[in-house]
Amino acid sequence: MSTIPACPHCAMENTYPDGDNYVCPDCAHEWPMNAAASVDEADARVVKDANGNPLADGDAVVLIKDLKVKGSSITLKMGTKVKSIRLVGGDHEVDCKMDAGNFMLKAAYLKKV
Ligand SMILES: [Zn+2]
């Protein structure tokens, strides 16, 4: 019972499943069961910078703090610009091409410019 979501149209909770759809008897709205799940997935893929701005492939960013690169003596300096980022999945979600090399960075350490 609690797995049936409230109606996205009128927010009433008398909804019930009907085949592959949920149905709301209060406003007669019907919507597919898997819609909610796919919306959540799309949201999860939005990568946001330190200010909460969504990042996209090709965006230019700057580092907001010095970052030590694991397993090397390289430190990426705060204020370093990355001209064109590429978003990837995983923990470090931003692929950055820099003079010093190619690094996977966390979006929380970047700011869109
Ligand atoms: Zn409704």
- C-alpha to C-alpha distance for 20 and 35, rounded to whole angstroms: 10
Burial class (CB in 10 A: 0-12, 13-18, 19+), 96: buried
1 — pLDDT class (breaks 50, 70, 90)? very low
Task: Give distance in angstroms: CA of 51 to centre of ligand 1.
Answer: 36
pLDDT digits (tens, 9 = 90+) for 18-69: 999 999 999 999 999 875 555 555 555 689 999 999 999 999 999 999 999 8
Closest residue by Cα to residue 76 from 44, 31, 109: 109
Phi and psi, residue 82, nearest 5°: -120, 120
- Please state, in angstroms and rounded to a whole number, the distance separating the CA atoms of residues 53 and 8: 26
Task: Give me ligand 1 centre to Cα 3, in Å.
Answer: 16
Chain Cα centroid distance, residue 111: 15
Question: How much distance in Å is there from the Cα of 42 to the middle of ligand 1?
Answer: 24
Closest CA to 27 of 14, 39, 41: 14
Structural domains of the chain sorted by starting position, each given as residue range(s) with its CATH number in brackets: 1-44 (2.20.25.10), 61-112 (2.30.30.40)
pLDDT tens track for 68-83: 988 889 999 999 999 9
| CA proximity to 85, closest of 65, 56, 52 | 56
How far, in Å, from the CA of 13 to the mean position of ligand 1?
8
Tell me how far the alpha carbon of residue 30 lies from the centroid of ligand 1, in angstroms.
Answer: 8
pTM for the model stands at 0.59
Ligand 1 mean position, distance from CA 79 (Å): 50
Residue 77 DSSP code? P
CA of 40 to the centre of ligand 1 (A): 20
Here the tokens at position 93 are 């979600």
